């Protein structure tokens, strides 16, 4: 058990030091290539034209991480990196395949970061952000990781997250973990990334990596994406396998792509698809979603404007209001001033479900990892208390205590709560509202602008559009829609189960017209 929070940073610094030395001599072609805001398509074009190699791409991003993860902007977005020599070895093999005419797809030779709650068998720990799991080394890749590797992506490391995916304390600071420290917003490093996919979002937004994987139970993909000015797709429950991912709640958990553009997010989503026999909710689709990247994707769409998911921030509402015209100009028909036809009354039931499923889901995860240092929530609770100085210096573990208090006698109560929550958010919520007004999809502002990081009081969180789709297990896409002062904000697109294609069409068409994404300056700011 490691109790020194600096241990992970020391390992990372050593990797980056060697990367920095090698990065200086990466060759002329890569030095001349403009990586800023580069898309997956642009990387593929350059690599196909022999202007760039996967090896040079990898060196570049190790260099970016060396510049801005603990120095420069000090984003604390990345917690672990594969030794550079190993990443370069993978890159060279993929370069060789390309030279021989074998192309695995859009992610061939593209570096990727994984949220640090996803299993890999490459010697990276899967920590959930906790020092308690600093020595938890899984023996197999998560299913989605294997899919990414098969697609030619180069998994170079792990991204910081809110510890235990923000399910440890009621007073947490999003993006803080005992293993990785406090992740920071690239647009203003005094402000939050939201969470829990904090490092994944900050690394993508800050151009430390082209693509990252995050996970969501409720808001953990869409909130950090909106607050750091990037795109994410939270898919329908089961579209992406959840095996090999440290859980909160199996009835809501899903991984998802985080990228700077809708097309990049779709290419990454497509790479991770596939039915996994180890995940009972997993299902196959006959084809990927890239065909839905249509510039005319808003034409003829009937879109409901969800006013009852607004009103918590006037600046966000004003930006959103200004963007409605963009949708109409693109041929969408807006049905305005809507609220859920049966109200929103799933919150208490959702909380019961998360507490119950966390306790038993964690035990199930550890049962598949007999070598893990802990095997259940009770053991983690006790160890958090034992190492409280390094693991709980700022906030406690109230959610751990509540979840561990759940018992088998409450199984029936849990099942009833689960049925009510699913019914309220899904059939009686999103589905009923779509049907009532004959709509294709619903929109709302994703969440408020980034708040100041506050380790004493925790998050100053005012509201979000995440819960309906999260609780229902339905798809939700967030796309940058503009700025409040210097801080990015996002627009949410969500609909019924399996509606990814419809949402991608609308989100992609909107993005092409709004062009609201812009790169952060990556200088620490204190507004």
Q: Per-residue pLDDT averaged across 346-359, rounded?
A: 98
Whether residue 47 lies inside any domain: the answer is no
Chain-centroid distance of CA 142 in Å reads 16
Torsion 362-167-261-203 (CA) sign: negative
pLDDT at 6 over 50: no
Collapsing DSSP to helix, strand or coil, 64 comes out as helix
Say whether the peptide bond before residue 196 is cis (omega within 30 degrees of 0): yes
* Strand spans (E) along 370-486: 441-445, 476-484
Residues marked as catalytic: 115, 196, 220
- Pairing type for strands 254-259 and 231-234 reads antiparallel
Helix (H) or strand (E) holding 324: helix 314-329
| Average pLDDT over all residues of the chain | 95
Torsion 393-4-128-520 (CA) sign: positive
* Structure confidence at residue 523 (pLDDT): 74
Smallest CA-to-CA distance from 211 within 192, 227, 225 is with 225
Whether residue 430 lies inside any domain: the answer is yes
pLDDT band at residue 32 under the 50/70/90 scheme: confident
Whether residue 46 lies inside any domain: the answer is no
pLDDT at 18 over 60: no
Task: Give the domain range for residue 242.
Answer: 105-514
Beta carbons within 8 Å of 262's beta carbon, 6+ residues apart: 231, 293, 477, 479, 504, 507, 508, 511
Whether residue 169 lies inside any domain: the answer is yes
Predicted confidence (pLDDT) per residue in 39-87, tens digit = 999 999 999 999 999 999 999 999 999 999 999 999 999 999 999 999 9
* Structure confidence at residue 136 (pLDDT): 98
Beta carbons within 8 Å of 104's beta carbon, 6+ residues apart: 94, 97, 150, 151, 152
* Structure confidence at residue 22 (pLDDT): 45
What is d(CA 100, CA 102) in angstroms, rounded to the nearest whole number? 6
What is d(CA 148, CA 144) in angstroms, rounded to the nearest whole number? 6
Predicted confidence (pLDDT) per residue in 142-154, tens digit = 999 999 999 999 9
pLDDT band at residue 526 under the 50/70/90 scheme: low
Helix (H) or strand (E) holding 400: helix 398-404
Whether residue 333 lies inside any domain: the answer is yes
Share of the chain above pLDDT 70, in %: 94
Predicted confidence (pLDDT) per residue in 377-394, tens digit = 999 999 999 999 999 999
pLDDT band at residue 524 under the 50/70/90 scheme: confident
pLDDT at 322 over 80: yes
Whether residue 445 lies inside any domain: the answer is yes
Number of independent structural domains in the chain:
1
Predicted confidence (pLDDT) per residue in 203-230, tens digit = 999 999 999 999 999 999 999 999 999 9
pLDDT band at residue 522 under the 50/70/90 scheme: confident
Smallest CA-to-CA distance from 469 within 440, 499, 490, 435 is with 499
Query: Tokens in use for 421?
Result: 């929550």
- Report how many helices (DSSP H) and strands (DSSP E) the chain contains, helices first: 19, 13
Share of the chain above pLDDT 90, in %: 93
Predicted confidence (pLDDT) per residue in 402-456, tens digit = 999 999 999 999 999 999 999 999 999 999 999 999 999 999 999 999 999 999 9
Whether residue 3 lies inside any domain: the answer is no
pLDDT band at residue 14 under the 50/70/90 scheme: very low
Whether residue 31 lies inside any domain: the answer is no
CATH of the domain at 326: 3.90.1300.10
Query: Tokens in use for 15?
Result: 């990797």
pLDDT band at residue 16 under the 50/70/90 scheme: low
* Structure confidence at residue 51 (pLDDT): 97
Q: Per-residue pLDDT averaged across 272-288, rounded?
A: 97
pLDDT at 25 over 60: no
pLDDT at 256 over 70: yes
């Amino acid at each position: 058990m490691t109790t020194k929070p600096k241990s992970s940073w020391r390992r990372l610094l050593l990797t980056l030091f060697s990367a920095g030395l090698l990065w200086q001599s990466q060759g002329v072609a890569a030095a001349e290539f403009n990586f800023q805001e580069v898309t997956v398509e642009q990387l593929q074009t350059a690599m196909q034209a022999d202007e760039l190699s996967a090896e040079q791409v990898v060196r570049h991003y190790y260099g970016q991480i060396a510049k801005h993860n603990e120095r420069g902007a000090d984003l604390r977005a990345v917690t672990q990196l594969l030794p550079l020599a190993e990443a370069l070895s993978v890159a060279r093999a993929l370069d060789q395949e390309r030279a021989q005419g074998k192309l695995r797809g859009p992610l061939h030779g593209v570096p990727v970061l994984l949220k640090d709650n996803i299993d890999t068998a490459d010697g990276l720990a899967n920590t959930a952000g906790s020092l308690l799991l600093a020595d938890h080394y899984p023996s197999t890749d998560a299913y989605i990781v294997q899919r990414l590797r098969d697609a030619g992506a180069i998994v170079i490391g792990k991204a910081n997250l809110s510890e235990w995916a923000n399910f440890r304390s009621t007073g947490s600071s999003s993006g803080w973990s005992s293993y990785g420290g406090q992740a920071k917003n690239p647009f203003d490093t005094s402000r939050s990334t939201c969470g829990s996919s904090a490092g994944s979002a900050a690394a993508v937004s800050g151009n430390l990596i082209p693509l990252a994987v995050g996970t969501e139970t409720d808001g953990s993909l869409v909130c950090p994406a909106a607050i750091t000015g990037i795109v994410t797709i939270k898919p329908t429950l089961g579209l992406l396998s959840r095996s090999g991912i440290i859980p909160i709640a199996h009835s809501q958990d899903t991984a998802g792509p985080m990228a700077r553009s809708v097309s990049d997010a779709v290419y990454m989503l497509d790479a991770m698809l596939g039915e996994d026999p180890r995940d009972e909710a997993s299902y196959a689709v006959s084809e990927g979603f890239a065909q839905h990247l249509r510039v005319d994707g808003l034409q003829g769409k009937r879109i409901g404007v969800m006013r009852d998911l607004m009103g918590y921030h006037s600046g966000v509402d004003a930006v959103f209001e200004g963007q409605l015209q963009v949708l109409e100009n693109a041929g969408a028909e807006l049905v305005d001033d809507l609220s859920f036809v049966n109200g929103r009354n799933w919150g208490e039931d959702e909380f019961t479900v998360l507490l119950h499923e966390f306790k038993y889901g964690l035990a199930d995860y550890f049962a598949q990892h007999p070598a893990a240092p802990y095997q259940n929530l009770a053991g983690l609770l006790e160890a958090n208390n034992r190492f409280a100085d390094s693991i709980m210096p700022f906030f406690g573990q109230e959610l751990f205590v509540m979840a561990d208090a759940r018992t088998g006698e409450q199984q029936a109560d849990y099942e009833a709560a689960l049925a009510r929550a699913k019914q309220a958010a899904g059939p009686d919520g999103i589905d009923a509202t779509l049907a009532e007004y004959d709509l294709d999809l619903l929109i709302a502002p994703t969440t408020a602008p980034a708040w100041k990081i506050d380790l004493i009081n925790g998050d100053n969180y005012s509201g979000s559009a995440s819960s309906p789709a999260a609780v229902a297990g339905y798809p939700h896409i967030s796309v940058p829609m503009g700025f409040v002062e210097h801080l990015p904000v996002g627009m949410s697109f969500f609909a019924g189960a399996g509606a990814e294609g419809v949402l991608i069409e609308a989100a992609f068409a909107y993005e092409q017209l709004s062009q609201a994404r812009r790169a952060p300056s990556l200088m620490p700011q204190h507004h």
